[in-house]
Amino acid sequence: MTRLAIDGGTPVRTRPFPPRRPFGEKEEQYLLEAVRSQNLFGKSGTFVPRLESAFAQFYGRQYAQSCTSGTAAIHLAVGAVNPDPGDEIITAPITDPGSVMPILQQTAVPVFADVDPITLTMTPEAIEACITERTRAIIVVHLFGYPCDMERIVPLARRYQLTLIEDCAQAHATRYRGRYLGTFGDIGCFSFQQSKHMTTGDGGMTITDDEPTYLRMKLFSDKGWDYRYMGERDHAFLAPNYRMNEQTAAVGLAQLEKVRSVVERRIALGRRLTEGIQDAPGIRTLPLSEEFEVSWWNYLFHAPGHDVDRFAEALRAEGVPVWAHYIGDPIFLRGDFLVRRVTFGRSQFPFDSPYVSREYRYGRELVPNAVQGLKTALVFGLHEDMSEEDMDDVIRAVWKVAENLPRR
């Protein structure tokens, strides 16, 4: 047996992995142009409409609406659905709160569909099991850049006449059966937060081919205000302010020009890593296919044959920073907004309102596959500025730990 670094052996890697450097000269150039224009207000500027037009064209959609974050993008989409209080929207149990909170903010109720325990993406069977007469929409989450089964989910949504929203916060420029994710549903939502394939620090975008949906999202992003038809009543409905500014759009335009190359680099590195560790004892990797891409927001794999916390500790000692269990628990257990129903003041609305027809309980028993998948999950921060040699060090470290750490 080889002595592990955690037990005093020599680590596989002693130098740190390279930091991600997402910004370059083009971002600086566009930012300077925006500042020199003496106007950073997006609605009277040039960079926001340029980014919206270019983003829609990149994804082959008719319309794109900018906003301030990926959470805001989901909120725009839910706002376009315009649910009645107490209506249900199905989403993922393993995701960011940004996929869930906009549902509550529009007084609808989130319902959680279970996932595949390896890919951690929602399954069509679990989604269908959640559909009731109150369901209005489905928000699928392409987690870690791994596509949900859109070939089966799209006809499912059509059969039940439900709005299909794609959360692509972790899946920019990712092809599935010849098309980009975000173009299969009625609305695609994207985040530009710092960790994403395409980043402006914060920011977001929605895309659609449906004009009424686009117009409602456009109004929803700006307090229901249709500035083209100002009149005595120029605010059409209750809505937040999610306007993007010019400096954010300037960086976004530069990022859009290179996002596909960023994704292609991550795909290649992720495939090298997968092929290198898939046969390591006690390890499970996500299945790859020629039918779709995995763009690896971060790299996800599993260690079901090991004590996962000990495995992560041993890998870190070998110089490979990983963390275990991703978010740890299903998202509905990671805050009081659902567990204790801390929503609108002390009301617990909509759960305690006459608009709901049943009692909602959020516990681990709702999503057993999600609970199991999180128990074995390991995450490594892969990004496009890493090299093949970096991946080879990860591969050597995983094999070293897998072969020498006692099995469960």
Give 97-137 pLDDT, tens digit per residue. 999 999 999 999 999 999 999 999 999 999 999 999 999 99
Cβ atoms within 10 Å of 396's Cβ, excluding its own:
16
DSSP-derived secondary structure letter, 20:
P
| pLDDT beyond 70 at 233 | no
CA distance 162 to 158: 6
Q: pLDDT band for position 231 (50/70/90)?
A: low
Average pLDDT, the chain: 96
Integer CA distances (angstroms), 259 to 32, 147, 159, 235, 264, in order = 21, 18, 34, 36, 9
Phi, psi of 193 (to 5 degrees): -60, 160
CATH for the 25-258 domain, from 3.40.50.1370, 3.40.309.10, 3.40.640.10, 3.40.50.300: 3.40.640.10
| pLDDT beyond 80 at 267 | yes
| pLDDT beyond 90 at 1 | no
Using alpha carbons, select from 80, 77, 75, 125 the residue that is nearest to residue 101.
Answer: 75
| pLDDT beyond 70 at 232 | no
- pTM of the predicted protein model: 0.97
Q: pLDDT band for position 408 (50/70/90)?
A: confident
Instruction: Sort strands 204-208 and 187-191 into parallel, antiparallel or unpaired.
Output: antiparallel
Q: Return the domain boundaries, the chain.
A: 25-258
Q: Which amino acid is at 145?
A: G
Per residue in 370-388, pLDDT (tens digit) is: 999 999 999 999 999 999 9
CA distance 138 to 158: 11
| pLDDT beyond 80 at 216 | yes
CA distance 160 to 92: 19
Q: pLDDT band for position 31 (50/70/90)?
A: very high
Phi, psi of 21 (to 5 degrees): -130, 85
Beta strands in 209-345 (DSSP E): 284-285, 299-302, 322-324
